């Protein structure tokens, strides 16, 4: 499977812009709403974003380092790697999301969080957009990045972008479900 590099980068930029707009909307909500959880063992909106921020803290500097040290040589097409494609596709939001275990260091449950988490997420998405712009001038197949779960595994840059941005999409969908449930509960309490 080959993907047009420009189409891939455009898709990833569009998703990231949507994430930015969504986060801007979240920044207007009261902190209590952002800390609402459906159940004791589920994440709140801020915990979902904190989870994404922790991944961003690893991947954004990693991607930046790899792009900065690469020569300029873009390719018209990107061919995903087997493992990278699997990871990226597993992150895409589906109708019935399969729950996944998260690493302890990436699990923010019951953390004391405030709206600064939203601001951090917004800054990270702005940085991601800048990296996607720079990625137009490098080879998304030849550049390899480390991954957060193992120093031994490297993914093609294009797959790393897909994984991180699809992972963001997955948790944005989770936040939308949390907000819907919260809205339903508020309506129920008024009735």
Q: What is the pLDDT of residue 105?
A: 66
Q: Retrieve residue 174's tokens.
A: 């989770």
Q: What is the pLDDT of residue 82?
A: 95
Q: What is the pLDDT of residue 111?
A: 83
Q: What is the pLDDT of residue 173?
A: 95
Q: What is the pLDDT of residue 130?
A: 98
- CA–CA gap between residue 59 and residue 66 (Å, rounded): 10
Helix axes 5-26, 45-68, angle to 10 degrees: 140
Taking the chain (191 residues) in runs of 10, the rounded mean pLDDT of each run is 94 98 97 92 95 97 95 90 93 71 72 94 98 96 90 93 97 94 76 56
Q: What is the pLDDT of residue 184?
A: 80
Contacts within 8 Å (CB) and 24+ apart, 179-188:
179/33, 179/45, 181/38, 182/33, 182/36
150: enclosing H helix or E strand: strand 150-156
């Amino acid at each position: 499977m080959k993907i047009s590099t420009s189409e891939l980068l455009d898709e990833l930029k569009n998703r990231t812009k949507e994430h930015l707009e969504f986060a801007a909307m979240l920044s207007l909500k009261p902190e209590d709403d952002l800390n609402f959880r459906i159940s004791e063992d589920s994440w709140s909106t801020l915990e979902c974003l904190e989870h994404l921020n922790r991944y961003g803290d690893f991947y954004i500097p990693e991607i930046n380092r790899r792009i900065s040290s690469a020569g300029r040589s873009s390719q018209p097409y990107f061919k995903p790697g087997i493992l990278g494609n699997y990871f990226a596709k597993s992150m895409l939001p589906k109708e019935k999301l399969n729950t996944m275990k998260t690493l302890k260091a990436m699990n923010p449950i019951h953390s004391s969080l405030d709206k600064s988490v939203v601001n951090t997420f917004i800054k990270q998405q702005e940085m991601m957009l800048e990296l996607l712009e720079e990625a137009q001038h490098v080879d998304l197949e030849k550049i390899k990045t480390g991954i957060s779960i193992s120093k031994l595994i490297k993914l093609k840059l294009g797959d790393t972008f897909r994984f991180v941005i699809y992972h963001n999409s997955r948790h944005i969908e989770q936040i939308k479900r949390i907000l819907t449930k919260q809205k339903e509960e508020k309506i129920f309490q008024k009735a």
